[in-house]
Structure 1
Amino acid sequence: MLSFGLLAACAAQAPTDESRQDSNAVSISSGVSATSGTGPVMGWSTAGFLGRNPSEAGIKAQARVLANRLKSHGYDTVLLDDFWYENPSTTVDAFGRWTADPSRFPNGLAALADHLHGLGLKVGFYVTPGIPVAAVEQNTPIEGTSLHAKDIADPGRYETNYNFGTRVMHGIDYGKPGAQEYVQSRANQLAAWGADFVKLDGVGNGNVADVQAWSQALRQSGRAIHFNVANSLDANNGNTWKQYANSWRIDADVACYCATQVTWNTVVSRFADVPKWVPFAGANGWNDLDALNVANGTLDGLTNDERRTAMTLWAVSAAPLYAGDDLTRIDGYGLSLLTNDEVIAIDQAGHPAHPVSQATNQQVWVANNGDGTYTVALFNLASAAVNVTANWNDLGFSGSASVRDVWDHRELGSFAGSYGATLDGHASRLLKVTPGTGATPGRRYEAESSANTLGGSAVLSGCVGCSGGQKIGYLGYGGTLQFNGVEAPAAGTYVLGVDYTVGDSGRSIQVSVNGGAPLELPFTGTDDGAWGNVQSFDVPVALQAGSNAVTFANPSGWAPDIDRITVAGTGSVAVVNRSSGKYLDVSGASTADRATLEQSAGRGRASQQWTLADAGEGHFKVANRNSGKWVAIPGPTTTQGTQLIQSGDDGGENAQWALAPARGGYYRVVSRYDGQNVDIRQGSSAVVQWADHGGSSQQWSFVAF
């Protein structure tokens, strides 16, 4: 259990071997856009429904729907993905370039592009790195030079090609004259056909030279062309992709290659992969999550809730929105998803959201819109219905805020401290949150600030996903970090938000305030070796008015790396139930002794505000701001189900509590008197004591006022 301001004894032992890895990523580069200056692309791709069978007739049929039904909402690009060309090991043109399959495109790709342009649409073409085997075997000339294919080919190396196999494209030796000229000839060919978009697929870390060459060639092609690189790229090379391309695939294909377009599993995998890419998105460079398959109902392989969740993730990630469905069979719900202009506006605004925490399947993602508002997405990735709550202090402010449901275009009202909703399995909500005039900005302190004090092994390191691109690592075993000058407007209880990274299974850290006894916290790890994936953990702390010092340490093990802390509130906190999303309150806002406790909707009343005070030996007392009385067990009694009361302080253990951490930043509140938990009674507003049953009704979060 966690003490309030005292050393705790329950946190899991942190790993102790020297294998602790820290990602020393380079700082973020602003980069230069490779080609055309655009936001996230919107349109349709052959990679989904048409798949291995693109054709002139099939594309024209889809393009008619795109132009007539979706173009007015921003969908204006048709991407001709793979399978349009003849086998590069046997067939090339006079300059060693791919040729269109005449059985699929009898009039050629230039004619197809002219048709699409005539509909007011843009067109994209697909390529892979290298030079065709046929070009090398025939030793075709390189256009505009006296050189030939054999002069630039690396015959001992093959490039990836998903259509015809692994031995149809030789690598290119970019140290040889003619290499750049050959790529330029390919880019010129696509530009002559009318390309507005080019996708270079089969790219990995070994293809940086190809990406550079294609980027330069497209710039010099005479057309403004959006350059996309794919797929399953390495975030450690994110600065490279951003420097040379306009968008980049962060994951494998979303297609399941099964009876449906996708499955929930192929969609939900994006949630784990997006966060480390967030710092690279924006200003003409976008994280590509692959095709969006939400328009064909059961043919998509998703429920309606799952379809909306997919569209929500793509939109809040500022990802390209290109449909992969059969547009001639869009159902009504799918059309409503693709044409919700308020959701599309979030995508096109280009403010990528990040998760507050990914410790559980109930996730809150947030983006600061830069105009005083926030985009907030609530996701329930689990299969059963559960409450998901966004706490304002996680967004960077405290107080009240108005909430708008973006999907339904509906104002939900003003909410103090947080907003929560019960979501069905795999469901989501998309919100616009506007802090009220009385809201207090959270005070944020970067770990790398020169005002802080480092001790022992603690060092500054780069961090792709961290605020400011830096963090403090190697904490623990003598390595310490002290935040100096942490301000509080008045003495009281505040919510301390800790942004951290842990790439292994989890670690613990001790937090002390102003030299007091430390509080030990268990921090969940991502267990994927990704030390740039930032998570957050909230804990209530007692601060004095004015300046405070907050110290992080772990004398017996490695601790998490620290990105920054946020101090939210004005001196009191709400105690919010995880299951219901409702606030701990006093019935009727009574100030009377022995008035009962209940849960109620959060509205910022003084009776919903609490402060914590040290009760010694790892326990604390909880005082109501309105009455000044303490949360207590009446009697006292050990009877399970007894409704709790507020009471004057007589020093009894029935008014003393401890915190036991639950996953996702929630806590169980455990009685010192009988070891039972603060719980809510089924079908009732009553707040009771009950033996530990592991349910979310016994889990509470602390939200700043």
Structure 2
Amino acid sequence: MKYIKRIVLALIFGISAFSQVQDKNKSVESKSEVAKNKSNLAVTPPMGWNSFDAYDCRINEKEFKATVDYMAENLLQYGWNYAVIDYIWWNPEPGNWNTPKRKGHPDIQFNADGSLKFPKDVTMDQYGRLLPSVERFPSAANGKGFKPIADYVHGKGMKFGIHIMRGIHRAAAFNGTPIMGSKATAKDIAEPFDTCNWCNNMFGVDASKAGAQEYYNSIFNLYAQWGVDFIKADDTMFPPYHKEEIEMMHKAIAQCGRPMVLSLSCGEAPVSRASHLIENANMWRISGDFWDNWESLEHNFDLLNAWSPFIGEGHWPDGDMLPIGRLSLDDRPHGKERMSNFTVPEHYTLMSLWSMAKSPLIMGGDLLTTAESTMKFLKNSEILYVNQHSTDNRQVIKNDGQAVWIATDPKNGDRFIALFNLSEKEKEVKFTLENEGIRGDYSVRDLWEKKDIGIINTQIRAKIDSHGAKVFRLTKVVK
């Protein structure tokens, strides 16, 4: 077990980072009040990159900084500004052994009494707060944590995020480490029976125990000191739904003195919890782990449709990361190392659906080894405009091998219409405008092709490749 000198915290003044937005069936605050209470946080769907799809739990400081450099030079101008380090950053060599679950799974090994077989597997301070491994993140030495990396990201004009696992590390519970700001210890608040079913590092925290909120306050205060802007909190919704710990995270952010986007994983999130999620988080996974296969992509049409009533400023249903580009380096975390299995038409469908549904856009593939022919899907400013600025986003048709989504540009009343071919063959997909009360003459622009294609007044139609998509902007012709 590695320890750092006690970190002396400044006095923390609580701020409200998130609004208390009520369910769609209740009266809601005005848009101005919502915006004020959100502190301008995640006003539009967050856009960025996360290390998991490419690096699993193994990314190091050199690789992460190189990725940040690439983003700053090539993607930031299009709005891709969050760079996020995914899980198990406290372990010097996570998953160096194979388990029955998968190659290199980052479970820890422990003795019959609960102690760690290899204490070096966890880097932690005297208050049970996990710290980045200096073997992988050398700038974290001497108690600096992730602050030097956060400063590097901020220096590029971007925002920095980290992944955390719900709960408290089992090593802290075994050793009874004290909790900063409380007389309780980690052993007092830990629930050994409550462990993540796919990663055994953590125990759940009992919200009814003295010291529970103080523990969450202490780790988020530490993240605030580091300069963290984005928290991906995992194992929060996978059955069971961990209502109390989600609330403790929300409260901890509100008191830490630094606005942070709270992203909850993994899904599928229960729609019955929509009101609670809106009140406590900025984005939440509506799907299980999403990978590069057509069945998962097609399933997300139904998931995003079910969640479309809850799209709103500061709270975004999340279809998961974009598994495009080079994935699973060294055959981890999912399948063989490969370029995405999505076909070119499926790339169009993925980006069109995520944009029409206003899902957060978090790139998962390795930016350093992905061809420009794929990166072009991240650089279409007209498609990204739909994701960031459209309203009234919803699916209006999904049957007979096709789907149609529609949205509005609030600036000028233009309509966005996306046509999807879900069938196994090329086909013409069409939509009758009267079905949405769209009457009169409209000029049509193909957003993927970035070209105007003529005037229509009754129906929009396009021949589309199997599993492909088209997105159009319709502008009223004033006579």
Q: CA deviation at 1:125?
A: 0.8
Q: CA deviation at 1:29?
A: 6.7
d(CA) in 1 for partners of 2:428, 2:352: 18
Match of residue 541 from structure 1? none
Match of residue 341 from structure 1? 381
CA contact (8 A) 1:305 1:426 kept: yes
Q: Deviations over 1:211-269 (max 9, x none)?
A: 111011112111111111112111111111111111111101113xxxxxx22233222
Q: Does 1:83 align with 2:88?
A: yes
Distance 1:190 1:172, change over 3 A: same
Q: CA deviation at 1:392?
A: 0.7
Q: Does 1:195 align with 2:228?
A: yes
The 5 A counterparts of 1:173-184 are: 173-184=206-217
Q: Does 1:141 align with 2:181?
A: no
Q: Does 1:390 align with 2:431?
A: yes
Q: Does 1:122 align with 2:159?
A: yes
Q: 1:112 aligns with which of 130, 145, 149?
A: 149
State the AA in 2 paired with 1:340: N
Distance 1:411 1:28, change over 3 A: farther
CA contact (8 A) 2:57 2:86 kept: no
Q: 1:423 aligns with which of 464, 469, 473?
A: 464
Q: CA deviation at 1:293?
A: 3.1
State the AA in 1 paired with 2:437: G
CA contact (8 A) 1:294 1:308 kept: no
CA contact (8 A) 1:282 1:350 kept: no
CA contact (8 A) 2:390 2:408 kept: no
Q: Does 1:329 align with 2:373?
A: no
Q: CA deviation at 1:352?
A: 5.7
Q: Does 1:46 align with 2:78?
A: no
The 5 A counterparts of 1:532-543 are: none
TM-score using structure 1 length: 0.55
Q: Deviations over 1:406-430 (max 9, x none)?
A: 1111111111211101111011100
Q: Does 1:59 align with 2:59?
A: no
d(CA) in 1 for partners of 2:61, 2:318: 26
Q: 1:285 aligns with which of 305, 308, 315?
A: 315
Gaps of 5+ in 2: 1-22, 92-107, 110-114, 117-121, 141-145, 328-337
d(CA) in 1 for partners of 2:39, 2:216: 15
Distance 1:321 1:217, change over 3 A: same
CA contact (8 A) 1:246 1:284 kept: yes
Match of residue 230 from structure 1? 265
Q: 1:254 aligns with which of 250, 270, 290?
A: 290
Distance 1:47 1:347, change over 3 A: same
d(CA) in 2 for partners of 1:29, 1:375: 28
Q: Deviations over 1:279-331 (max 9, x none)?
A: 11111111111111344597011121111111111111111112111212332
CA contact (8 A) 2:46 2:360 kept: yes
Match of residue 203 from structure 2? 170
Q: CA deviation at 1:196?
A: 0.4
Distance 1:28 1:349, change over 3 A: farther
State the AA in 2 paired with 1:228: S
d(CA) in 2 for partners of 1:36, 1:127: 23
State the AA in 2 paired with 1:252: G
Match of residue 366 from structure 1? 406
d(CA) in 2 for partners of 1:94, 1:118: 31
Match of residue 253 from structure 2? 218
SS in 2 for 1:353: strand
Q: CA deviation at 1:94?
A: 0.7
Match of residue 302 from structure 2? 272
Q: CA deviation at 1:139?
A: 0.9
Q: CA deviation at 1:273?
A: 1.0
d(CA) in 1 for partners of 2:28, 2:130: 34
Q: 2:41 aligns with which of 37, 42, 47?
A: 37
Match of residue 93 from structure 1? 125
Q: CA deviation at 1:28?
A: 5.7
d(CA) in 2 for partners of 1:78, 1:61: 11
Q: CA deviation at 1:36?
A: 5.4
The root-mean-square deviation of aligned C-alpha atoms, in Å, is 2.2
SS in 2 for 1:376: strand
The 5 A counterparts of 1:206-605 are: 206-232=241-267, 233-255=269-291, 262-295=292-325, 299-351=339-391, 353-370=393-410, 371-437=412-478
d(CA) in 1 for partners of 2:476, 2:279: 36
SS in 2 for 1:144: coil
Distance 1:160 1:152, change over 3 A: same
Q: Deviations over 1:442-485 (max 9, x none)?
A: xxxxxxxxxxxxxxxxxxxxxxxxxxxxxxxxxxxxxxxxxxxx
TM-score using structure 2 length: 0.79
d(CA) in 2 for partners of 1:263, 1:140: 44
Give the number of equivalent residue pairs: 404
Match of residue 185 from structure 1? 218
d(CA) in 1 for partners of 2:24, 2:161: 32
Q: CA deviation at 1:114?
A: 2.0
Report percent identity of matched pairs: 30
CA contact (8 A) 2:324 2:339 kept: no
Match of residue 494 from structure 1? none
Q: CA deviation at 1:201?
A: 1.0
Distance 1:218 1:34, change over 3 A: farther
d(CA) in 1 for partners of 2:320, 2:74: 22
SS in 2 for 1:274: helix
State the AA in 2 paired with 1:97: R
Match of residue 103 from structure 2? none
Match of residue 617 from structure 1? none
Distance 1:295 1:132, change over 3 A: closer
Gaps of 5+ in 1: 1-24, 256-261, 439-705
d(CA) in 1 for partners of 2:436, 2:179: 56
d(CA) in 2 for partners of 1:131, 1:34: 28
d(CA) in 1 for partners of 2:27, 2:223: 29
Q: CA deviation at 1:437?
A: 4.5
SS in 1 for 2:391: coil
SS in 2 for 1:421: strand
SS in 2 for 1:59: helix
SS in 2 for 1:407: coil
CA contact (8 A) 2:54 2:326 kept: no
SS in 2 for 1:375: strand
d(CA) in 2 for partners of 1:352, 1:84: 39
State the AA in 1 paired with 2:262: F
CA contact (8 A) 1:29 1:239 kept: no
Higher RCO, 1 vs 2 (CA within 8 Å, ≥6 residues apart): 2
Higher strand share: 1
Distance 1:317 1:254, change over 3 A: same
Match of residue 25 from structure 2? 27
d(CA) in 2 for partners of 1:435, 1:28: 34
d(CA) in 1 for partners of 2:453, 2:326: 30
